[in-house]
Structure 1
Amino acid sequence: MKSFFSILTSTFLLLISIHSSAQHQEISDKPSIWKEKDDEKIDSTSILNAFKNGNFSGHFRYFFMGTNNESGLSDYYANAIGGGVKFETAKYHNFQFGVSGYYIYDIGSSDFSKKDPVTNLSNRYEVALFDFQNVSSKGNLSRLEELYLKYNYKNSNVTLGKQLLNTSFINLQDGRMRPTEVDGIWIDFNELKKTKINVGFLYGISPRSTMKYFRVGESIGIYPTGVNPDGTKSDYAGNLDSDGIYIVGIQNESIKNLKTLLWNQYAENIFNSALFQMDYKYDLNPNSKLLFGFQTIYQNALNFGGNEDQSKTYFEKNGNSQTFGGRIGWQNKKIEITLNYNRITAKGRYLMPREWGRDPFYTFMARERNEGFGDVNAVMTKIQYTNPKKTFKSHLAVGYFDLPDVKNAAMNKYGLPSYVQTNADFRYQFQGLLKGFDAQLLYVHKFNVGETYANKNYIFNKTNMSNINFILNFNF
């Protein structure tokens, strides 16, 4: 198998020398990392025929990322290339088997083992293209991604094993080389008209930028952990106990133009999160609509929040948090304009392991999060254009994020000052001779607008910085 992947990767390198959208998907979308075919397969007469009539999918990616920090602080860059394949059998008595794997190579990057001499802090963004747990590794990073057995019933299915998921709290967050994956059982029930129900139990997580699967408790703390509410360094990495995550999701569109979403995520022994969201489209005329949205999230600790020793727990005992947000906007067939707001109350920090997924807020902007904070006001406006053939898409977004003071540890887990962020994103899907290729250019700049007490630790890789990304994919 290793030699097979090596051949595929070598082939991709040759393709890149001739010609070379990152898969930033909305978390409400069905995962489509591999772009595999959706053709219905007729039940084979034998297991052998199920394998012979199966479907191979391939994905190759080149990723350049560079970060330019404030003058006097370290800058970074990375070039990553990778490739992999997925195989899924045809149906055999409604059963299907699937497996996928991926290889990543560093083809020219900064030395991520060197810390910034001014702050003594490490690289934040580029290292995540590779193995976050082994920053010196330069190539031949292999990863088993999916390994599952699926049973199909009418429009529904049950999947057991390693798989891809997109939910409000656990999702692909795939703005690097490979996405977050999960291990468990997942039910996708679609037998009720205009209603989708998901039920799952997850016992393993393979976070983005790692090479293996971890038990649920082990998966929390692989990324930087920040500080406890009392200001001491968080020490929950490797110290959390959980049997798994229970998830229930319901999406209903029975009322015309109204989508209602409810998710509840129960991380056993650690915390519970519940989300309610409504999105409504009002028809102005056949070509344009007004957009309205409302969202609220409530969280509370379970037992001791993961560990009886509160210096080693994830969610403070008896802790809770509340967020709410909204959006208004307008769209036609080419343009969508939205004004978005989110409030995290001062009741407590909004906490969701960054290893599991990105924020579900209307105000989310790529390359930063508001997880780990309380008492936040965020406003973001975005204009998006899609050409009629849907081969080109672009958006410009500007957001203002009013955060607690960097020294307010109870409400500011990561010491991030208030900031203004701008994102410019351009994506193109090639046609004709280059069909199968797609490209993305993402430029991000963050301006500091908060007090930093002349401490560069509150600036480095956080504000007064820019981040540029060029991604080229080939799917077959």
Structure 2
Amino acid sequence: MQIRILLFISLVFPSILLAQHQEVHVAPHLWKGKKSVAEDSTSLLFAFKHGKVHGNLRYFFMATENKGHLTDSYAHAAGGGLFYETGSYKGFQMGVGGYFIYNTASSDMSKVDPYTNAVNRYEASLFDIENPANKHDLDRLEELYLKYNFGKSHLTAGKQLINTPFINLQDGRMRPTEVGGLYGEIFPGKKNKLEGGYLHEISPRGTVDWYGIGESIGIYSNGTNIDGTKGNYAQNIESKGIYLVGYTHTLPKGHSLKFWNVLVDNVFNTSQIQWDAKKGNWVAGLQYTEQHAIHHGGNEDPTRTYFDPSQMSRVFSTKLGWENSQWKTSVNYTRITAEGRYLMPREWGRDPFYTFMPRERNEGFGDVHAFVGKLNFHPHNGPLKASIAYGLYKLPDVKQVALNKYGLPSYNQLNLELNYEFEGFLEGLEIQGLYVHKYNQGETYGNEKYMINKVNMSNYNVVLNFHF
């Protein structure tokens, strides 16, 4: 009886079965779309038909040269991705994007240095730091969200990109850090911006997976505990999520006031206030940041916690500069007090201080004095940009582990950077070159583990991007 029913359906309603499988003699039509033109601007089809597609192809060469016999590294990475966002349907939009990466030719990322047992620091994060030997399965669903727009404001739920002082793209490798949760930007008046939300997952730069907030803390190096024992908080932090809020008020004559607060459930709280001013060609800035542990800092066991509750941190950062249409110059100073280490998971973003320079951070340190001079040149808003920066970073002794989490000695750093955006036939193509050299200025006690990939080393970068 069932066979006769199926035969009847196949004869009378062949279109039903046609929709369930693909005939071998018919051209593939999985992406055939809707043949008719969507003319009703209020329809869902119209929103999808009038969406926008963005693409990126990226090549990244990076190499690190250490002094003497210490291991050098290099990497060639290539990849590409697509992102699609629908048009608006009653204020709603959907976005989806992904990226793939190939390790085309690189040194062995899983190899440790035979003299120090140190692992690769820079090049491995072009790929998958959790599996340095992985050269093939390097793809990631990066964005998948639903956005609601109202006026200039919007709320976004899902996997997305955000750029805040403490949780940001930190895009100095193949792909940036991504977050998952609810995030919004609201503009109550022309001079005010309120933003923030709740995050429950993060995909850090240099990974291909998504992690809960607690498990995302510790994917990178764990450094040491404040008593000098090896850090052991990876997979040991309990947290339900991150609550963050930011407020920006634009003042007359180019002045602005910003306030940020980041509360990491069960781990720590960080607050920052920043004032920026402009008078003629002169610019100035002042930041104050304060941190405290919550409960036990992530774990009741002090050997497995992230933020030791016996410490807190304060950071003062200042800037004074002169700018015009072609030049930007500044002298910058940051002071991290000796009350404790400034801590912010490196998996989440880079330092927000005026003295930040690419390829190093002052996260994980206390009792820091940092001095940085920066010079940027962008002639006539043309395709070429050039910059130079030089920094002096006075850190605690490498054996003063309560204030030196990663065993980094004091150092000086030089950065040289060139960017060029092509025009005409090659429009969409960008090339970037970055050279970094770090000079040791601290005591290393004859132990090369305090030097490899940290000081007396050079880092070379060439990046090609094609946006379409």
Do they fold alike, i.e. is TM over 0.5? yes
User: What is the aligned partner in structure 1 of residue 94 from structure 2?
Assistant: 97
Distance 2:144 2:251 in 1: 35
After TM superposition, give the deviation of residue 318 of structure 1 in Å. 4.3
After TM superposition, give the deviation of residue 390 of structure 1 in Å. 3.5
Structure 2, unmatched stretches of 5+, are 1-38
User: What is the aligned partner in structure 1 of residue 326 from structure 2?
Assistant: 334
User: What is the aligned partner in structure 2 of residue 121 from structure 1?
Assistant: 118
Tell me which amino acid in the other structure corresponds to 2:54: S
**Is residue 2:409 matched to residue 1:417?**
yes
Higher RCO structure, 1 or 2 (CA under 8 Å, sep 6+): 1
**Is residue 2:66 matched to residue 1:69?**
yes
Distance 1:393 1:117 in 2: 40
Distance 1:318 1:260 in 2: 31
1:167 to 164, 169, 178: 164
**Is residue 2:369 matched to residue 1:351?**
no
Instruction: Quickly say closer, same or farther: Cα 1:97–1:436, change in 2 above 3 A.
Output: same
**Is residue 2:264 matched to residue 1:271?**
no
Tell me which amino acid in the other structure corresponds to 1:255: P
**What is the DSSP-based 3-state SS (H/G/I as helix, E as strand, rest coil) of the residue aligned with 1:256?**
helix
After TM superposition, give the deviation of residue 120 of structure 1 in Å. 1.1
Tell me which amino acid in the other structure corresponds to 2:213: V
After TM superposition, give the deviation of residue 376 of structure 1 in Å. 0.3
**What is the DSSP-based 3-state SS (H/G/I as helix, E as strand, rest coil) of the residue aligned with 2:105?**
coil
Distance 1:472 1:199 in 2: 33
**Is residue 2:169 matched to residue 1:182?**
no
Q: How high is the sequence identity, in percent, across the aligned residues? A: 53
Q: Give the conservation status (yes or no) of the 8 Å contact 2:63–2:460.
A: yes
**Is residue 2:222 matched to residue 1:225?**
yes
**Is residue 2:377 matched to residue 1:385?**
yes
**What is the DSSP-based 3-state SS (H/G/I as helix, E as strand, rest coil) of the residue aligned with 1:49?**
helix
Q: Which runs of 4+ in 1 moved over 3 A?
A: none
Q: Give the 5 Å matches for 1:79-98.
A: 79-98=76-95
Aligned residues: 430
**Is residue 2:441 matched to residue 1:449?**
yes
Higher radius of gyration, 1 or 2? 2
Distance 2:111 2:300 in 1: 36
Instruction: Quickly say closer, same or farther: Cα 1:384–1:43, change in 2 above 3 A.
Output: farther
Q: Give the conservation status (yes or no) of the 8 Å contact 2:251–2:257.
A: no
Distance 1:318 1:127 in 2: 34
- Cα RMSD between the aligned structures? 1.0
Distance 1:394 1:259 in 2: 27
User: What is the aligned partner in structure 2 of residue 301 from structure 1?
Assistant: 293
Tell me which amino acid in the other structure corresponds to 2:212: R
Q: Could you list the per-position Cα deviations for residues 247-276 of structure 1 after superposition, in whole angstroms to 9, with x for gaps in the alignment?
A: 110011132210111100000100000011
After TM superposition, give the deviation of residue 102 of structure 1 in Å. 0.2
User: What is the aligned partner in structure 2 of residue 460 from structure 1?
Assistant: 452
Q: Give the conservation status (yes or no) of the 8 Å contact 2:93–2:148.
A: yes
After TM superposition, give the deviation of residue 46 of structure 1 in Å. 1.5
Q: Give the conservation status (yes or no) of the 8 Å contact 2:40–2:46.
A: no
Q: Give the conservation status (yes or no) of the 8 Å contact 1:384–1:396.
A: yes
Distance 2:291 2:330 in 1: 27
**Is residue 2:432 matched to residue 1:435?**
no
User: What is the aligned partner in structure 1 of residue 27 from structure 2?
Assistant: none
Distance 2:310 2:240 in 1: 20
**What is the DSSP-based 3-state SS (H/G/I as helix, E as strand, rest coil) of the residue aligned with 1:159?**
strand
**What is the DSSP-based 3-state SS (H/G/I as helix, E as strand, rest coil) of the residue aligned with 1:370?**
coil
Q: Give the conservation status (yes or no) of the 8 Å contact 1:395–1:425.
A: yes
Distance 2:145 2:199 in 1: 13
What TM-score, normalized to structure 2? Answer: 0.91
Q: Could you list the per-position Cα deviations for residues 286-318 of structure 1 after superposition, in whole angstroms to 9, with x for gaps in the alignment?
A: xxx011110110000001100011110000124
User: What is the aligned partner in structure 1 of residue 45 from structure 2?
Assistant: 48
Distance 2:200 2:326 in 1: 42
User: What is the aligned partner in structure 2 of residue 282 from structure 1?
Assistant: 279
Distance 1:56 1:97 in 2: 12
2:311 to 306, 314, 319: 319
Between 405-414 and 386-395, report the one with greater CA deviation.
386-395
User: What is the aligned partner in structure 2 of residue 401 from structure 1?
Assistant: 393
Q: Give the conservation status (yes or no) of the 8 Å contact 1:157–1:187.
A: yes
1:155 to 140, 152, 168: 152
Q: Give the conservation status (yes or no) of the 8 Å contact 1:304–1:318.
A: no
User: What is the aligned partner in structure 1 of residue 18 from structure 2?
Assistant: none
User: What is the aligned partner in structure 2 of residue 244 from structure 1?
Assistant: 241
Q: Could you list the per-position Cα deviations for residues 377-421 of structure 1 after superposition, in whole angstroms to 9, with x for gaps in the alignment?
A: 000001110121342111100000000000001000000000000
After TM superposition, give the deviation of residue 43 of structure 1 in Å. 9.1
User: What is the aligned partner in structure 2 of residue 194 from structure 1?
Assistant: 191
Q: Give the conservation status (yes or no) of the 8 Å contact 1:43–1:94.
A: no
Distance 2:229 2:300 in 1: 17
1:207 to 204, 208, 231: 204
After TM superposition, give the deviation of residue 206 of structure 1 in Å. 0.5
